[in-house]
Amino acid sequence: EKILASIKRKENVFNVYLICVDKQSKNIVDIMPTYEAFAERNSEKEMTLIGVAYGRRGAYELFKRMVEDHLKKGHKMIEFKDRILQ
């Protein structure tokens, strides 16, 4: 709860990574530490938070599970971003 509260206040949390979808980005997702997500250069982006993990490796593992779940449901990878933003 403390970590989520800090994220809502846009405070940096050591070694916590965010998995975000940015409508305008060509990337399917952006995986970044909180300090990068909350940096001034990202303040205008329309990012949707879809996951929070401890450490970079944890974030990639979480994203991997998200993708596996998406594919198991019979969806195509190209639909991932659009389905998340619905």
Q: Give CA–CA dist 13/6, Å, rounded.
A: 7
Burial of 5 (0-12, 13-18, 19+ CB in 10 A): exposed
The average pLDDT across 2-10 equals 95
The average pLDDT across 33-61 equals 95
Confidence bin at 22 (pLDDT 50/70/90): very high
Q: Could you tell me the two tokens for 22?
A: 């940015």
CA distances from 14 to 21, 25, 47, 53 (A): 21, 25, 20, 11
Confidence bin at 29 (pLDDT 50/70/90): very high
User: Does this model's pTM top 0.85?
Assistant: yes
Count the residues in the chain: 86
Instruction: Give residue 74's pLDDT.
Output: 96
